[in-house]
Amino acid sequence: MMMLQKWISRVIADDGASLYRYKGVISVRGMDNKFIFQGVGMIFNGGFAEAKWKKGEKRESRFVFIGKNLDHEFYRAGFLACQEDKPLRFPVGTLVEANIGKWTKGKVIQQWDEGNAYRIELQDKKRTNVWAPIDVDAYVRPVSVEA
Q: Quick: pLDDT tens for 124-145.
A: 999 999 999 888 899 999 998 7
pLDDT digits (tens, 9 = 90+) for 43-80: 888 888 898 999 999 988 888 989 999 988 888 888 87
Query: Mind giving me the DSSP string for 6-48?
Result: HHHHHHHHHHGGGEEEEEEEE--TT-SEEEEEEEETTEEEEEE
* More confidently predicted of 67 and 1: 67
Mean residue pLDDT across the chain:
87
Quote the pLDDT of residue 131.
93
| 29 phi/psi in degrees, rounded to 5 | -55, 135
Report d(CA 130, CA 37) in Å as an integer.
29
Residue 19 has pLDDT above 80, yes or no: yes
pLDDT of residue 90: 97
